[in-house]
Each structure stands twice: as C-alpha cells, then as structure tokens.
Amino acid sequence: MLSKIASRSLGAAVRTSSTTSTTRFLSSTPTLFTATEPNSSVSGRESALFTPGPLTTSIGVKQAMQVDLGSRDSKFIDVIQSVRDELLGMARTSQADGHECVLMQGSGTFCVESVISSVIPASGKLLVLSNGAYGERIGQMCKIHKIDHEVISYGERGAPNAADAAAAVLADPSITHVACIHHETTSGALNPAQAIGAAIKEVSERSEQQPKRAAKRSEAKRSKAS
C-alpha cells in the first residue's frame, strides 16, 4: 500500500514537470506541484493533487520514506505485520478467524488484478457492479483471465446499490463473488460498499439455509413415517 502511494507520487512528478511551480520534491527531481495555494495536510507549502487516485501523501508519510529499512530488518517486518493485522482488524476479522491479509506492491490496477485473477475459482462467477473506468476494467480483467462474469453498468453518473446486488445474486445462483469499486476515483463517486456487502451476506446466508431447511424437512417426514 505504501509502495503504491510512493510510486504514484513520482508518476505525478513526471507528468507535471513542464509547468511552473513553487515547490520541489527532492533537489535532483523535476518540479512537482503547480498550484501556489498552501496545503496544511502536507508541509504547509505543497499543494494537494486532484488527479484521479488517492495521490496526496501527508508529511508524516513523506518523512517516514526518508528512512531506509532492509526488507529483513526486524523493524521493517514488525511494521508490515502491524499493517497486515490492522487491515484485518478494519475488516473485523483476524488470522484466528481464518483470514489473512497479503500486501501487494504495484499500481492500483496491478493490485486489483492480483485479487480478481486469484480469488475466483474456476467454477466461480463474478458479478461486477460498475459505475466508472475502474469497474469496467474489472470486467476486462475477467475477459482476459477467462472468468465467468456479469457486469451491471450504471454509467459514470449512476451508482450501484444494495437492492440490485441482492436481486442479481438471488436470480443467478452461479454467482459466487461480487465486486464493486468502493471509491471510483475517476469520477469521485463513493459507492455504498458496506450496504452492498451486508445485502449480499444476507441473501447468500438465506439461500444457503434453504437447502438445509429442505433437507431437515424431508428428514423430519422420514422419521415421522418410520
């Protein structure tokens, strides 16, 4: 996660290097920022970046990146472990609950593709709720990796919602996974990921219970008859 932010910031440095600016990133690098308004979230001199993607990093992150740590240094291993544990905690789960968090280093697209191409089993089907370029990109990834999928496209001004997701999962029992971009940064749309997740959990638990209930009913009939 931290590597992604760092590489995106350097990418921005290259893109804006030909314009006038007041602030420099490192003395040897090209000019970074173009606006002159101060930004309190960073050093008080730098400006926030408003290009797609979460690009602006705080002064704390920038300062932390001034220190080199070896990848097998116990300090580095401890920091990575705490990031992994805290991300599991944010998802309200843990290693003890059978979940693991794996940090990926790469562009945003690389990280999304690493999940899409490894999480859906060969027999699975992915429902993609899309309202922008990154949602559409997940559909493309499915095509490339030959993953069975369905895309509900809302267009850039639309928004995925929990009711649609639940109805689609109920209508097609072959759907095993659902993907939705939380923050579609190409348009700035923040999608209701929590409500969508809760609705899918509810319908999938309900449909899982149905065969169990049916099995219980026929078992009860059999024991009554004997």
Ligand X SMILES: Cc1ncc(COP(=O)(O)O)c(C=O)c1O
Of 79 and 133, the one with the shorter C-beta distance to ligand X is 133
Place of tokens 């060969």: 122
Among 57, 131, 185, 191, binds ligand X (CB under 6 A): 185
Bridge partners of 86? Answer: none
Query: Is 160:192 a contact under the CB 8 Å cutoff?
Result: yes
**Alpha carbon of 61 to those of 42, 66, 72: distances in Å?**
9, 9, 21
By CB under 6 A, which span of 61-69, 73-81, 103-111, 201-209 interacts with ligand X? 103-111
Query: Is 42:65 a contact under the CB 8 Å cutoff?
Result: no
Query: Is 130:154 a contact under the CB 8 Å cutoff?
Result: yes
Of 161 and 191, the one with the shorter C-beta distance to ligand X is 191
Smallest separation, CB 134 to ligand X (Å)? 4
Of 33 and 132, the one with the shorter C-beta distance to ligand X is 132
Query: Is 125:176 a contact under the CB 8 Å cutoff?
Result: yes
Q: Does 107 bind ligand X (CB under 6 A)?
A: yes
Cα 40 from Cα 49, distance rounded (Å):
13
Of 181 and 189, the one with the shorter C-beta distance to ligand X is 181
Of 65 and 170, the one with the shorter C-beta distance to ligand X is 65
95: DSSP letter: T
Of 141 and 199, the one with the shorter C-beta distance to ligand X is 141
Query: In this structure, what token pair is assigned to residue 81?
Result: 């472990």
Among 112, 152, 175, 178, binds ligand X (CB under 6 A): 112
Among 30, 38, 108, 124, binds ligand X (CB under 6 A): 108
**Alpha carbon of 82 to those of 62, 72, 114, 177: distances in Å?**
19, 15, 22, 28
Residues 10-39 that bind ligand X (CB under 6 A): none
User: Using CB atoms within 10 A of its CB, is residue 219 exposed (0-12), middle (13-18) or buried (19+)?
Assistant: exposed
Residues 142-181 that bind ligand X (CB under 6 A): 181
Of 117 and 122, the one with the shorter C-beta distance to ligand X is 117
Smallest separation, CB 186 to ligand X (Å)? 8
- Residue 50: how many CA atoms within 13 Å on its side-chain side? 5
By CB under 6 A, which span of 102-110, 140-148, 166-174, 217-225 interacts with ligand X? 102-110
Residues 45-64 that bind ligand X (CB under 6 A): 53-54
Smallest separation, CB 112 to ligand X (Å)? 5
- What is the contact surface with ligand X in residues (CB under 6 A)? 8, 53-54, 107-109, 112, 134, 181, 185
